[in-house]
């Protein structure tokens, strides 16, 4: 079965970017989705994607999109 982590993470990132551009937004910065890669070898580990969001007070948040292991 196909996994859509890329699509979902991209949609979230774009939505937060759009919100950050509005006057009065509490979001100041949003990263592009990052892939889950092995820390030293750099190979693909999973379909998980991570987005970092910074609020206007400088607090960072991590948004993670990954497949649920529900059967």
| pTM score of the predicted model | 0.88
pLDDT reading at 64 higher than 80:
yes
- Give the residue ranges of DSSP H helices in 1-71: 5-20
**In sequence order, what are the beta bridge partners of 27?**
55
Helix (DSSP H) and strand (DSSP E) numbers for the chain: 1, 4
Provide Rg for the chain, Cα atoms.
Answer: 14
pLDDT 10s digits, 15-53: 999 999 999 999 999 999 999 999 999 999 999 999 999
Task: Give residues with Cβ within 8 angstroms of 20, minimum separation 6.
Answer: 27, 28, 29, 30
């Amino acid at each position: 079965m196909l996994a859509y982590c890329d699509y979902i993470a991209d949609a979230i990132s774009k939505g937060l970017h759009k919100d950050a551009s509005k006057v009065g937004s509490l979001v100041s910065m949003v990263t592009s989705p990052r892939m889950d890669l092995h820390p030293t070898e750099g190979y693909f580990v999973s379909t998980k994607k991570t987005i970092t969001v910074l609020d206007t007070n400088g607090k960072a948040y991590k948004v993670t999109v990954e497949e649920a292991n529900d059967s």
